[in-house]
Amino acid sequence: MEFRARRAKPPLGRRDHDPERSTLGAVTTTIHGARIFDGERSLGVGSVVVDGDVIAAVDLGVREPAPGDVDARGATLLPGLIDGHVHLRGAGNLGQDLRHGVTTVLDMFSAPPQFTAMLRGRAARRDDEADLRSSGLMAGAVDGWPAVMLPPDPTGWRMPGLSGPEDAVRFVADRVREGSDYLKVFVENAADVTRPTLTPETVAAVCAAARSRGLATVAHAPTRWAFATARGAGVDVLTHLPLDGPLDDDSLGTLTVVPTMTMMAALTDAGSQQALFADPRLTARLAPDVVDGLRAGDRGGLPTSSASGAAYEHAVANLRRLVAAGARVVAGTDANDVPGRPAAVLHGASLHLELDLLAQCGMSPTDVLAAATSRAADVFALADRGRIAVGKRADLLLVDGDPTVDVTDTRAMRTVWRAGVPHDLAHPAPVAR
């Protein structure tokens, strides 16, 4: 089942200027002389014309730049990156994403619903932060995850839990009312396998109820039991990979997965941030106190996995099996940082780490880039973005080097365009604490 777009958002840019927006809006711009990766393949050297918030022309071939063109010779232009798995903990997350070339994020659980609605409103009127889609609240068992994460707030709101299949229709109806773009189902937590979990019958009931309302389902499945349960229930997208052993090789090529290798590493290795520290292109766009906290060992409270036999090597082997079988892989991080505090998986910066980890598991650089652009857009029904083509939304990223050869060149960011509005990444402004 493909995701269905639930609502059309108004285009951003000068033609739809909102005085609350923090920038002046988009203008007509020609990005001249870049190598163009269109979301699926390299087109060669050419120029891209942006008119307001959309791509007006893609012209291949070498020519002399005109006055006012953005000189992109020697650089690579690709669609803005899409992070296929984040959790929003504050408004600052979306700005941090954009500072790292991530123009759209797919939130896989945020709460309470009023918070998610506030972020939706920001994303609709601002062009200096990433756009977002969200599952809103996540389906989980009574007294299980994620309900245990969220005690009642001062307004009396309490995270709902499902006691059995009979609760599925009501749960899904409530999410539709709140505007969820898809449904997230929490099957089992690799970091704590002691809590109650949804029964396979309940997971299947949630999938059926979501399908009847035109919503697809995403499963939190970081163990073999969770992965098998989600598959058996008919979940559309599996996120995370089993840390506790090998996948059954049967029919892996039919699956769509968001492996979140950055989180899989963080759950099994307290020193997983070393790759972040090693690249100043990533740390330059993070608040110094956050980086210092990570260096000091503050992982934002994230434990390592308590699942028996959990090891990152299992996730690597499982992803290699999936890639070899032809499964659809979408890039996502499980970013979860509270603004101004360290976290084991940071918004924005971690997607660049994720791309490298996917490449290390056997994906080619162009396949990795597709996983973070066109394929992510296809799986999540974002028909207006994820590709460089006429009529598509002008979410673009210009980087030095050639990430179709070395995927870590995505970190050498010059400029990101969010709905046609440019933001300089080559000279990042000081990050507010």
- CA dist., res. 99 & res. 103, Å (int): 9
Listed residue (150, 159, 208, 166) closest to 183, CA to CA: 208
Question: Burial letters for 178-209: b for 16+ Cβ neighbours within 10 Å, e otherwise?
Answer: bebbbbbbbbbbbeebebebbbbebbbbbbbb
Amino acid identity at 166: E
Q: State the DSSP string of 369-433.
A: HHHTTHHHHHHTT-TTSSS-STTSB--EEEEES-TTT-GGGGGSEEEEEETTEEEE-SSPPPPP-
| Per-residue model confidence as pLDDT tens digits over 397-433 | 999 999 999 999 999 999 999 999 999 999 876 665 4
- CA dist., res. 319 & res. 246, Å (int): 10
How confident is the model at residue 63, as a pLDDT?
83
CATH of the domain at 270: 3.20.20.140
Orientation of helix 261-268 relative to helix 312-325, angle to 10°: 160
How confident is the model at residue 432, as a pLDDT?
56
The answer to whether residue 57 is domain-embedded is no
The answer to whether residue 65 is domain-embedded is no
The answer to whether residue 364 is domain-embedded is yes
- CA dist., res. 252 & res. 389, Å (int): 31
What is the tally of structural domains in the chain? Answer: 1
The answer to whether residue 49 is domain-embedded is no
Q: Is 158 within 8 Å of 152 (Cβ atoms)?
A: yes
244 SS3 class: coil
Length of the chain counted residue by residue: 433
How confident is the model at residue 150, as a pLDDT?
66
How confident is the model at residue 335, as a pLDDT?
96
* Residue numbers of the domain that contains 130: 80-382
How confident is the model at residue 331, as a pLDDT?
98
Residue with tokens 């740390």: 283
How confident is the model at residue 104, as a pLDDT?
98
Distance of alpha carbon 236 from the chain centroid: 17
| Per-residue model confidence as pLDDT tens digits over 344-373 | 899 999 999 999 999 999 999 999 999 999
The answer to whether residue 156 is domain-embedded is yes
- Would the pTM count as exceeding 0.85? yes
Task: Give the Å distances, CA to CA, from 83 to 3, 101, 106, 333.
Answer: 16, 10, 6, 7
- CA dist., res. 315 & res. 235, Å (int): 20
Q: Is 371 within 8 Å of 331 (Cβ atoms)?
A: yes
The answer to whether residue 326 is domain-embedded is yes
End-to-end CA distance of the chain: 42
Q: Which helix (H) or strand (E) holds 45?
A: strand 42-51
Amino acid identity at 302: L
The answer to whether residue 415 is domain-embedded is no
The answer to whether residue 224 is domain-embedded is yes
Beta bridge partners of 45: 35
Q: What are phi and psi of 79, to 5 degrees?
A: -60, 150
Average confidence (pLDDT) per 10 residues, the chain, 433 residues: 39 33 65 97 97 96 89 97 96 94 97 91 92 95 71 70 94 96 86 75 96 96 92 96 90 96 91 90 91 86 70 96 97 92 91 98 98 98 98 98 98 97 85 56
How confident is the model at residue 193, as a pLDDT?
58
Burial class, 112, CB count within 10 angstroms (exposed 0-12 / middle 13-18 / buried 19+): middle
